[in-house]
């Protein structure tokens, strides 16, 4: 999760992407709303995504659901986290697996894993 946060926002809790993803784990407001509903968190608006505790809770839960969806395949789950499950399905149908994002996250993870 720390590697995802580093790649997504460089640990900037106020980060906002050009497409509107917000916070540490760069969650889109519509995704945040849906995740909050699943976790029974009272959604009071997309500004909640700037709260580090909420953002990490939602982002971690989201990544966990993707790991389950892709049967523990971390590379696919990371790709879906970055591209979204809809676009991931489209890419899979065409036999395309973008490698840049998951490679960056896993490389960072392995670098830090050695220091622990």
Question: What's the whole-model pTM score?
Answer: 0.91
pLDDT band at 91 (very low <50, low <70, confident <90, very high): confident
| C-alpha atoms less than 13 angstroms from C-alpha of 58 in its C-beta half-sphere | 31
Average pLDDT over residues 47-55: 98
| C-alpha atoms less than 13 angstroms from C-alpha of 84 in its C-beta half-sphere | 11
End-to-end CA gap in the chain:
15
pLDDT at 112 (0 to 100):
85
In the chain, pLDDT over 70 holds for what percent of residues? 99
* 8 A C-beta contact, residue 55 and residue 25: yes
Given the residues 8, 22, 24, 79, select the one marked as catalytic.
8
For residue 8, indicate whether it is catalytic: yes
pLDDT at 116 (0 to 100):
63
């Amino acid at each position: 999760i720390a590697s995802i946060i580093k790649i997504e926002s460089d640990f900037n809790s106020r980060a906002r992407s050009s497409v509107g993803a917000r916070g540490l784990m760069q969650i889109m407001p519509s995704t945040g709303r849906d995740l909050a509903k699943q976790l029974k968190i009272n959604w009071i608006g997309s500004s909640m995504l700037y709260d580090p505790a909420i953002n990490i809770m939602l982002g971690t839960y989201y990544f966990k659901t993707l790991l389950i969806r892709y049967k523990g395949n971390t590379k696919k789950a990371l790709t879906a986290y970055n591209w979204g499950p809809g676009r991931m399905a489209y890419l899979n149908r065409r036999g395309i697996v973008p490698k840049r994002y998951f490679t960056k996250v896993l490389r960072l993870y392995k670098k830090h894993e050695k220091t622990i």
